[in-house]
Amino acid sequence: MTTVNVNGDSLPDTSNLSDRYSRQILFQGIGAEGQLKLAAAQVAIVGCGATGSALAGLLARAGVGKLRIIDRDYVEPSNLQRQSLFDETDAADSLPKAIAASRKIAAFNSEIEVEPKVDDLIPGNIETLLNGMDLVLDGTDNFETRYLINDYAVDRSLPWVYSATVGSYAVTLNVVPGQTACIVCIFPDSPRGIVDTCETSGILNSAVNLVASIAATEALKILVHGSQAPTLRRTLLSFDLWTNEHAEISAAKPRTGCRACGERDFIHLAGEGRPHITLCGRNSVQIHERQRPIDFTEMDRRLQPHGVVRHNDFVLKFWHDPYEMTLFPDGRAIIKGTTDTAVARSLYARYVGS
Point out which residues bind Zn ion (CB under 5 A). Answer: 182, 184-185, 254, 258, 260-261
Contact (Cβ atoms closer than 8 angstroms) between residue 310 and residue 296 = no
Residue 273 or 305 having the CB closest to Zn ion: 273
Tell which residue, 131, 162, 147, 184, has the closest CA to residue 274: 147
To the nearest whole angstrom, how small is the minimum distance from the Cβ of residue 270 to Zn ion?
Answer: 16
Q: How far apart are CA 245 and CA 233, in angstroms?
A: 19
Of 185, 198, 258, 261, the catalytic one is 198
Q: How far apart are CA 66 and CA 43, in angstroms?
A: 6
Residue 184 or 241 having the CB closest to Zn ion: 184
To the nearest whole angstrom, how small is the minimum distance from the Cβ of residue 254 to Zn ion?
Answer: 5
Contact (Cβ atoms closer than 8 angstroms) between residue 195 and residue 143 = yes
Q: How far apart are CA 329 and CA 236, in angstroms?
A: 39
Residue 154 or 224 having the CB closest to Zn ion: 154
Q: How far apart are CA 260 and CA 309, in angstroms?
A: 45
DSSP for 242-293, please give it: TT--EEEEE-SSPPTT-TTTTT---TTTTTTT---EE-TTSSEEEE---S--
H or E, element range at 207:
helix 205-225
To the nearest whole angstrom, how small is the minimum distance from the Cβ of residue 257 to Zn ion?
Answer: 9
Residue 2: DSSP 8-state:
-
Q: How far apart are CA 105 and CA 82, in angstroms?
A: 17
3-class DSSP state for residue 315?
Answer: coil
To the nearest whole angstrom, how small is the minimum distance from the Cβ of residue 43 to Zn ion?
Answer: 22
Question: What is the residue type of 141?
Answer: D
To the nearest whole angstrom, how small is the minimum distance from the Cβ of residue 146 to Zn ion?
Answer: 13
Residue 250 neighbours by CB under 8 Å, 6+ apart: 234, 235
To the nearest whole angstrom, how small is the minimum distance from the Cβ of residue 305 to Zn ion?
Answer: 54
Contact (Cβ atoms closer than 8 angstroms) between residue 327 and residue 315 = yes
To the nearest whole angstrom, how small is the minimum distance from the Cβ of residue 132 to Zn ion?
Answer: 24
Residue 323: DSSP 8-state:
E
Residue 70 or 185 having the CB closest to Zn ion: 185
| 261 flagged as catalytic | no
Tell which residue, 68, 17, 77, 63, has the closest CA to residue 47: 68
Q: How far apart are CA 103 and CA 90, in angstroms?
A: 10
Residues acting as catalytic residues: 198
